[in-house]
């Protein structure tokens, strides 16, 4: 199927569970802003229905959804240019997800590494929603006929499954209805690693607060976490090749490159030969310079949550205007009497 039949449209989502961290910012949010500013239609969602696949305290969930919205806006997403909303206000996501539950196969879901990691040894006790999570994610994207999805590297497998669902639906119903979506996984920081362990990704669920930089951390906390970040005793190399066997060093250089919007090679041209004792303060200064204005703006926005709620509500109306006719056509194709 040719993807050119569909007008370019960007969709992505982040879960309102826990705090936004540097991995979310560099792997996803910062790139959402870039795509918005390229003049493509952009739709960004706080996926609250995904968040409850694991237990969320209701008060915390409501707060996290608003804080995530504040983070989106503070990072540069403009509610006039982009459609910003929370998933549960657009019921078409869950409605399409049911149809996709009947298209996707059990075996496809069982292969998902995020399912295996999150359910772990206790899969019998995991929620059914956690298992079906990728089917809802496919619905998030395809209910808008989105063609491009910016995400971090950890979502690649879910996007492949989204493509499989679109292709199986089109094949089974002999239509050319859903686009085969392109993942957009690019930049120097598609996989930001834990500051404590270069083999683990930076994650909201890591019990160690020192493993991640949160968007709401103040300057001292950022500097302290970077100072304590695990490294090795060698000086920095002058070329990217010299980082191959040095995951912690590579992570810090990747973060520096992504924050300063340059390449790893350019960074190493400047800092090659320096010790971490010299590089870490440079990285802290850069991180504070980029993150402090965002956290300041988030705090300001959170003072008036009614404004945030109004933005999300308006966004959901714009989103529904796109989603509702696509759901109707889907029901038509599937054979539901309307």
121 is catalytic: no
Strands (E), the chain: 9-14, 41-46, 82-86, 148-150, 182-184
Find which of ligand TRP, ligand AMP, none residue 140 binds, CB within 5 to 8 Å per kind.
ligand TRP
**Of 9, 10, 12, 71, which lies in the binding site for ligand TRP, with binding defined by CB under 6 A?**
12
Q: What are phi and psi of 145, to 5 degrees?
A: 50, 40
Instruction: Determine the Cα–Cα distance for residues 192 and 201; give it in Å rounded to an integer.
Output: 6
Q: Minimum distance between the CB of residue 302 and ligand TRP, rounded to whole angstroms?
A: 22
In a 10 Å sphere around its CB, with 0-12 CB exposed, 13-18 middle and 19+ buried, how is residue 101 labelled? middle
Question: Closest by alpha carbon to 146, among 327, 318, 12?
Answer: 12
Structure tokens at 12: 């992505």
Mark 153-182 with x for binding to ligand TRP (rule: CB under 6 A) and - for no binding: --x--x------------------------
Out of 154, 197, 270, 309, the residue judged to bind ligand AMP by CB under 6 A: 154
In the list 71, 134, 152, 198, the residue contacting ligand AMP (rule: CB under 6 A) is 152
The secondary structure of 218-276 as a DSSP string is -HHHHHHHHHHS---SSPPPSSGGGGTT-HHHHHHHHHHHHHHTS-HHHHHHHHTT--H
Using alpha carbons only, give the angle 80, 82, 83 rounded to the nearest 5 degrees: 95
Note whether 79 binds ligand AMP by CB under 6 A: no
Out of 13, 23, 179, 198, name the contact with ligand TRP by CB under 6 A: 13
Specify the residue, 142 or 189, whose C-beta has the smaller distance to ligand AMP.
Answer: 189
Judge whether 224 counts as a catalytic residue. no
x/- letters, 10..49, toward ligand AMP (CB under 6 A): ----xx-------xx--xx---------------------
Listed ranges 94-102, 149-157, 274-282, 327-335: which one lies at the site for ligand TRP (CB under 6 A): 149-157
- Contact between 147 and ligand TRP per CB under 6 A: no
Task: Using CB under 6 A, count the residues that bind ligand TRP.
Answer: 14
Q: Which pair of structure tokens corresponds to residue 171?
A: 């094949």
What contacts 186, CB < 8 A, 6 or more positions away?
A: 31
- Verify binding: residue 51, ligand TRP, rule CB under 6 A: no
Nearer to ligand TRP, 15 or 254 (CB): 15
Q: Return the ∠ at Cα 278 (arms to 276 and 280), rounded to 5°.
A: 60
Residues that bind ligand AMP (CB under 6 A): 14-15, 23-24, 27-28, 151-152, 154-155, 190-192, 201-202, 204
Q: Which residues are catalytic?
A: 118, 201, 204
């Amino acid at each position: 199927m040719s993807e050119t039949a569909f007008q370019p449209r960007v969709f992505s989502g982040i879960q309102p569970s826990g705090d936004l961290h540097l991995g979310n910012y560099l792997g996803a949010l910062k790139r959402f802003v870039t795509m918005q500013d390229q003049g493509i239609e952009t739709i960004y969602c706080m996926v609250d229905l995904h968040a409850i696949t694991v237990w969320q305290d209701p008060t915390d969930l409501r707060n996290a959804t608003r804080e995530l919205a504040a983070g989106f806006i503070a990072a540069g997403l403009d509610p006039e240019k982009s459609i910003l909303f929370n998933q549960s206000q657009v019921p078409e996501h869950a409605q399409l997800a049911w149809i996709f539950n009947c298209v996707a196969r059990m075996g496809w879901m069982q292969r998902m590494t995020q399912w295996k990691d999150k359910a772990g040894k206790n899969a019998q006790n995991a929620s059914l929603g956690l298992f079906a999570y990728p089917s809802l994610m496919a619905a998030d994207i395809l209910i808008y006929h989105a063609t491009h999805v910016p995400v971090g590297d950890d979502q690649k497998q879910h996007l492949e499954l989204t493509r499989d669902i679109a292709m199986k639906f089109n094949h089974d119903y002999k239509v050319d209805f859903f686009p085969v979506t392109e993942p957009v996984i690019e930049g120097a920081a598609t996989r930001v690693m834990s500051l404590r362990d270069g083999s683990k990704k930076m994650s909201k669920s890591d019990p160690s607060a020192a493993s991640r930089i949160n968007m709401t951390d103040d300057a001292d906390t950022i500097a302290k976490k970077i100072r304590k970040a695990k490294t090795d005793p060698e000086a920095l190399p002058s070329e990217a090749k010299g980082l191959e066997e040095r995951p912690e060093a590579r992570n810090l250089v990747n973060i520096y490159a992504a924050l300063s919007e340059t390449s790893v090679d350019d960074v190493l041209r400047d800092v090659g030969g320096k010790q971490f004792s010299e590089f870490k303060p440079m990285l802290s200064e850069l991180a504070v310079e980029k993150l402090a204005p965002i956290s300041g703006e988030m705090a300001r926005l959170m003072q008036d949550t009614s404004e945030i709620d109004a933005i999300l509500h308006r966004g959901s109306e714009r989103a529904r205007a796109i989603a509702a006719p696509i759901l109707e056509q889907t029901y038509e194709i599937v054979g539901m009497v309307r």
